[in-house]
Every structure is written in C-alpha cells, then in structure tokens.
Structure 1
Amino acid sequence: MIKFICAAVVASAISSAAVADVTINGFASINAGATTGSNESLYGYDDKFELKNESLFAIQLQSDLGDKLSVTGQLLGRGADDFDVDFEWAFLSYELNDQTRVSAGRLRTPFFKYSDFLDVGYAYDWIRPPQSVYGLGFANIEGVSLYRTDQFGRLDSSLQFVLGNYDSTTSFSGTEIDAQIDSIVGATWELTQGSLSGRVAYLVGETTFDTAPVQLAPGVTLGGLFGTLEQVGLSALVADLAIQEDDSSFLGFGVTYDNGDWIIVSEITNIEVDNSFIAEQDSYYLSVGHRFGSFTPYISYEKDDNTAQVDAYSAYQSTLPAQLFVPVKGLVDSQAADNDTWNLGFRYDFHPSAAFKAQFTDQDNQLTGDRRSLISVGIDLVF
C-alpha cells in the first residue's frame, strides 16, 4: 500500500507541474565525529574520525493540486545507509477548513517536540536531538492523521490524532531485525502562549519484534534459547519474554521557553511493552541555550533510567535449571540502563541558510562505571 502511495505522490507532483504550484525544498547535514578513547563507541562513532555516520541529504516536493488537496514527498539518503535514497515521507493532505487538515500515507509519528524536524538539523541547536529521549528506533508510520489548530483566549492550540501501523526494520542489540507495530492510535496536544509552550503525547499499539537472530553469546541466539525453553515445557515463560503482539505505550511531556534570547527545552518520556523482556524506559532531558546574535552556546543534560522486568523470570528462579536460568536472567537484566549524559556545544549561523555546530558529549554508565566521550562537528543547511 505504501509503495502505491509513494508512487502516487511522485506521479501527482510531476503530472500536476503544469497546472499546479510545485515547491521544491531541501536540507542536508554534513556531520563528523570521533570518540576520545581508543576502545570507546557512541552513537555509531569510534575513535576514528568519521564523516558519514550522521550525514544526510534530502529533497522535499510539495504540490498544491487545488481545491484544498496537496501532495508531499520527501526523499532522503543517509550516510549510514551509503546514501541509499528512500521515501521518508509520502502523503496526501486535504484541508477540511482553515483549522483542520487530514493527511494519509507515510507520516512522521508525533512522539516529540521536534518529530516533524527530526532530520532537519538546521531546525535545532544541537548536533543531534538528545538520544536518551529521541533514540526510539523508528519515526514514521503508514496511516492517517488529523491535525487541528484553535485559539482559546491567549492560548494557541495544536491537536493531532494519528492512526496507523509500522512494518519495517529496527536495530536491536546491534542486529537488524523485523519490527511491526499494529493498531497505532495516539494523540498529541500542544498549547502555546507567547514564549512558553507545553505539549503532551500518548500513543498505544501492538508490538511484534522478530528477535530470533539476536545473539546472546557466540553461537547462541535468542531464537535458540526460546526454542529450548519450549522443548522443556516452558512455553509460558517464552510468552512472558517474547515480543509478540504485546500491548505497548508511549507517554511524553514537553515544555519549551523561547523568548528570542534564551531557549530552554525539556521533554520527559515513558515507554512500556507489556509481557516482554523489554525494560520500562523512563527518559528525560533539559537543554538551556542563549543566543548572542548568530552565536548560540548551549548545555544539556540527559537521563536514561530503564528498569529491567525481573518479574518475567523471578517466579522460575527455583525451578529453572541453571543452564537456562542464567541466559534468561542475563537477557532481561541486559535491558536495564542508567546513563547520565552531558552535552556542551554551540551553533554559529554563518549564513542565512547554514549553521556550523560543535558539540562535546560525555556519557556515564552508572551500572557499569563505563564513561564515553564524543566530539562532533557539523554543518546543517536548508535550501
């Protein structure tokens, strides 16, 4: 279905060029970085200076077909994928009235404050959005969205409802796996008054991850462990661990203050996948920056606090053989996280359409005592 919609977007944009307004925009990020330690890795970087990992290039086409109907397509190539171009967005939109818009196709999932601008580095001051919150693993759905704006006295209101599915791949413990999230239903609401705005987002769905290829140890896969558990009559334990049509939820809150000089942003999120080995994930960040003309220094703090679902195996501790209990416990416990991350950087707008950025990131793993640091530089531009 989405391939049909993508093709329709392109065909509509091309065929309507003679009779409708077609707008072509683009953006790019040229980012580079390296960790400060020889055995460290963070956000896909190691101690070798790397220019490809977070770089990207995108073209967006939008065509007004008249009678309140428009079509939008965004082609994006990421350096991490050898700049293979894919449709990041592809959707049709219809204006029901001046306040209400309906869209259908491949859409950005409105989890976060900067979801719509997630790939447009020029839209924010950091090198990358705070990964403790934004590193969710997927950003788009195939579905429909209803977006409405209103004004309540001095408050500007933006309300969005989404309905759809996700069927693609995601990275799990360094392994690319098939991922499916069905029956995604959610809503976001943002209120703004002057320099201050606040938002809330809540989405639910049914999550299925094919984790069978994930390696627990050399020669030992998660699929093999689950198969062994089923052979010894522990199908109930497998059901408590496997990610198969499990109810999942996302809850997020955000606050932004931007008076033109100071910009303060904070977001808090909670993610749960019931009846699985996935930890309950609580994350937040706080970022403070100040604009001195074209120069904006900033500092931000991020927190990961993921609680392992020990109840999934605790009832089996006295009955499960050690050779099976140890990997089960290791699997569940490995999902726990307690990271403190500090970012210090600046943005310099050296051109009306381009900005140079530099950022130092220091991450402290409170569970293992490991500490990793990353230096990143980049240029973001829009055209």
Structure 2
Amino acid sequence: MSPKKILAATLALSLAAASAAHAEDGFNYRFSGFGTVGYAATDTDDVLFTNPGQLKGARQNGSGLVDSRLGGQLDLSFTPALSATVQAIAMQNAEGKSMPQVQWAFLRYKVSDSVAVRLGRLSLPAYLVSDYRYVGYANPWVRAPLEVYNLASLDSYEGADVVWSHGVGDGFLSAQVLAGHVSSPMPYDSEHTSRVKSNQLTGAYLTYEIGSLRVRGGLSTSKVTYLSEGTNALFDGLRQAGFGQTADAFEPDNARTTFSSVGATWDADNILLTGEYAQLRSGSKMIGRATGWYGTFGYRLGKWMPYFTYAGYDRDDQRARNDVPPYGPLIPLSMGLDQLAAGNSQHTASLGLKVDLRSNVAFKAQVDHVRPSRHGGTFSAVAPGFDGSAVNVYSAVVDFVF
C-alpha cells in the first residue's frame, strides 16, 4: 500500500473515531515536531558519504542533504483505550529528493492495562533507537553509527503488533511481537526501479528499563526479494549460460533473511555509555552474512558533552561460491558476480561534541576517521582503483524539537 493510501486510511478511521469520541468529550490531540539542519564533508572524492537509503551525499565539496530533515507527529486520543499516531518526515529519499514521507500511521487499541494492539504503518523496532532515530536532539551522535544502522536500512513496515508491558522487579519490561511486510526503493543513479521487498515479516523484541539502564534485543525474519534491472540482467545471463544453480544461490528471490540485535544504554549523572551489536543472515549469497557493532562513551560537563565512538562492520566474502570461470564471453558474468559477492569491512573512530544551546536546541560537531576496505565499507559510488585509504568525515548539525 502506498504512503498516501496508508495516511488516507488512517486519517479516515481517525476522523470517524474522533467524531464518536467528540460526542463523549473524550477527544484530544497533540502535535510535536523535530528537525535537523546539518552539513557534512569528506577529505576525498573517491567515495560518496550517505545515510542509508539516500542517493546524493557528501564528498570534498560537502553537502547539506545528508543529515538535514524536518518531521512532525500528530497524536490523537479518542478514548482512554483508542488512539492514533501519524508521523511524517521530509528528508532525502532514494531519488535524491527531500520529499515528505509517512513514517508512521497507525491506530492503537489498549486491550488492558498491560496489553496494546497497533495496526497500520509502524516503526520496525530493530535497533536501540528505532523509536527516535531521526529525532537528532534525542541522540548523542550526529547520526546513528552506520556500521550497525546500515545493516537493515528499513525503518518501518505495514502490519500489526502486540505490546505487553509490565513491571518486573524494580524495572519495566516490554515484549513486542509483530507481523507484516515492507517494500522500499533503493538508491541508484541509472535506474529508479530498484526495490527491496520483505514479505512474511515477523519479529519479537524485548525492552527492559531499570533506573539509568535501558536494554533492547530481539530478531526479525522475512522473505526478501531484491528487484533491480542490473542484477536481474546478470542473473538472467547466468541462467542462459548454464549457471542456473549459481544464479539461484545468489539471487534474493524470497530469500529467508534474519536480523538480530541487542543494545544497551546507561545514562546517569555525567556519564553516558551506549552500544549495540547486530547480525544479518540471509539464504541469498548476494545479501550474505554481515555483523556490526559500536560503543560510545560520553561525559557531560554542564551543557557540554564530548563523546567518543568506536565501531566496526564486516561482511563475509562469498566469492568462493562463484563457479563461473573468468574466460571469454563469461568474463562479464564472472566479474559481475564477484562484485556482488565481495566481502567488505570498515572500522571507525569518531570524536564529537554536543552542546545544549537551549532546552530544545543542541549543536553537535563530529569527526569520523573511517578505515574501509577497498570495496568502500558503508560508502557508495566507490571510484575504480580505490585502495581502502582512510577517509575523514566532518559533520556539524543543529538539532531541535518543538
């Protein structure tokens, strides 16, 4: 279902519920907003620096498109049990345009004091900060570490979830189970038809909060299909050349794919500690297996908080599964398969500073020293002959909420 249809359906149901609730004087609403004005630049033109799902990014000449965004959220309460939420964000998409996108549009029904059911377009709770990833003011970094947050770049899904919440010991435990599907465009210069689909999506996540500690972990699994003119042509060529089994092994066509993660944050007094570990596993050799992790330490000095992050990413090399000999007319097929199957890795040391300018405005500056493999790590548009030299990324943002 398209974002416009989801938004229209949610608003129609919301208005109907609002009319009934208004008659009982039980209706109220709340609007809130958030945004980021940012600038990023690198010290090389050999790679392109982007956030997941973006077409345009930063090189030496810099860009304001990578981190800048503006979002708004409308929360509607019809009765003590029934509510709705719609969130839209204007930020750069897979076509390089900063158009508003519906992130959330769902109805929530509270079955009991501890159980709630939601239906519509929902946040995929795959990460520690999934619920507020794009609310820059709520996060310590300029952006969530890409070594982890680039593994599964899908932010939301269409379906339903059930959330059970209850006090456990001195803390609070939430258990969430979900089901649905998602279809998302992928950024490519030469074509606008690339898309990744996740069908039969299911997942389960636990979140536990006690004092200054918050922990979240879980997994989701789905059947992933990757649609692209370039890869489709490669796999068709392999089958015509008699390498059908190889094409089947690499092509993501309803390939069972699982993403698991665990993360924690300790935020007390002057000290902030946070980190995550995530794994991506797929039956498709093109998607393959990848892991990512990071750890952040911050120390508050009044309104100032310097912080340090160290992160890593590694994708397994699947080229040994390429049984297409690089000879004669098979050379393009073999080279294309090698490009899809090549391993990749990256390690990043980041030093940053967050300054609370006002109660709702923060300034952040961050320098990332990135050591990617020669395949570019999380960078895109890697220049031919790139040797894996270190890349420095310089970023500055102003985050705000209202």
**Is 1:380 matched up with 2:399?**
yes
Determine which structure has the larger strand proportion and give its number: 1
List runs of 5+ in structure 1 lacking aligned partners: 214-221
Match of 2:226 in 1: 209
CA distance in 2 between partners of 1:82 and 1:321 (Å) = 39
Question: Structure 1's 249 and 173: CA in aligned 2 closer, same or farther, altered over 3 A?
Answer: farther
Question: Structure 1's 329 and 208: CA in aligned 2 closer, same or farther, altered over 3 A?
Answer: closer
Alpha-carbon displacement from aligned partner over 1:198-231 (angstroms, at most 9, x marks no partner): 2211110000001333xxxxxxxx3332222211
**Is 1:93 matched up with 2:108?**
yes
> Where do residues 139-158 of structure 1 align in structure 2 (5 Å cutoff)?
139-158=155-174
Question: Is the Cα–Cα contact under 8 Å of residues 100 and 149 in structure 1 kept in the other structure?
Answer: yes
Aligned-partner residue type, residue 358 of structure 2: H
Select 1:34's aligned residue among 29, 41, 59.
41
Match of 2:99 in 1: 84
CA distance in 1 between partners of 2:131 and 2:228 (Å) = 29
**Is 1:128 matched up with 2:136?**
no
Question: Structure 1's 172 and 164: CA in aligned 2 closer, same or farther, altered over 3 A?
Answer: farther
Alpha-carbon displacement from aligned partner over 1:315-368 (angstroms, at most 9, x marks no partner): x5599975256325423443x112111111011111111101111111112444
CA drift of 1:243 comes to 0.8
Select 2:390's aligned residue among 350, 362, 371.
371
What SS is found at the alignment partner of 1:132?
Answer: helix
Match of 1:291 in 2: 300
> Where do residues 1-383 of structure 1 align in structure 2 (5 Å cutoff)?
1=1, 3-11=4-12, 16=18, 20-43=27-50, 44-79=57-92, 81-135=96-150, 136-171=152-187, 177-213=194-230, 222-314=231-323, 323=331, 326-334=334-342, 336-367=343-374, 368-383=387-402
Aligned-partner residue type, residue 257 of structure 2: S
CA drift of 1:175 comes to 6.1
Question: Is the Cα–Cα contact under 8 Å of residues 311 and 349 in structure 2 kept in the other structure?
Answer: yes
% of aligned pairs identical? 24
Aligned CA RMSD, in angstroms, stands at: 2.3
CA drift of 1:134 comes to 0.7
Aligned-partner residue type, residue 77 of structure 2: D
Alpha-carbon displacement from aligned partner over 1:72-117 (angstroms, at most 9, x marks no partner): 1112111455431121110000011122211110011000000010
What SS is found at the alignment partner of 2:33?
Answer: strand
**TM-score relative to the length of structure 2:** 0.86
Aligned-partner residue type, residue 305 of structure 1: D
CA drift of 1:260 comes to 2.9
**Alignment coverage as a number of residue pairs:** 373
Aligned-partner residue type, residue 185 of structure 1: T
Question: Structure 1's 253 and 240: CA in aligned 2 closer, same or farther, altered over 3 A?
Answer: same
What SS is found at the alignment partner of 1:66?
Answer: coil
**TM-score relative to the length of structure 1:** 0.90
Aligned-partner residue type, residue 249 of structure 1: T
